[in-house]
Structure 1
């Protein structure tokens, strides 16, 4: 006798579920309003929650280890954990891609600036200048702000 596990089918169905239905699932699974993030975020968090409820969540020792690591980073100040000092700045580790004159350039956001070709930079404008040879607003060059400066 084989048992059918409905979880993989539920997870696969998320890709084609209309967004209003995803938001309803969020409310049912989290007992809260869905955050105003993009669809892929909703899908991934709902998928995790479905699996968490079906198979169990993180082990207590894993939760303790993650909390200890978080305390090492923020000194135990829980207010700092959800806070980003510069709301416009991409999250550390984000990779910015830009094609310029047929060449693709990849810049990585670091904790204290940016990295391109293995070198640290304090600003995106310096990288844009190195790539193009002319002065650019780095945020505009990498598509993070439109030409009027709005994010």
Structure 2
């Protein structure tokens, strides 16, 4: 019985500690992983790369369909929202997706701020700072404001 090489590599990722995952990230991607990436997140990203390398990337049509669905959700949410301190496109329970560092990150907007990677933050700016390691305007970083506005 032969072992599938991809299965073997995925099993190695599953058992790897953070230091091993950082070395693998550097070897595979040619850069160091973002400072905010946990071992779990590096493991997921590297496993996705492994599978995408074998199966091929997400089809363009699928990516366009998801972007259309997200825009429709944001548009309908903004129609329901009145008098919030967040940008009009965001309300409690909104799920934001952000591509950063070669990975898609999911942020859940909550009444008290936002949640990312299982941790609560006081604002979208705090999430953006944790994600990137630099101070950022959260709503602008997540595409909720036009480039010229703060």
TM-score relative to the length of structure 1: 0.46
Q: Which has the higher contact order (CA 8 A, sep 6+)?
A: 2
Is the radius of gyration larger for structure 1 or structure 2? 1
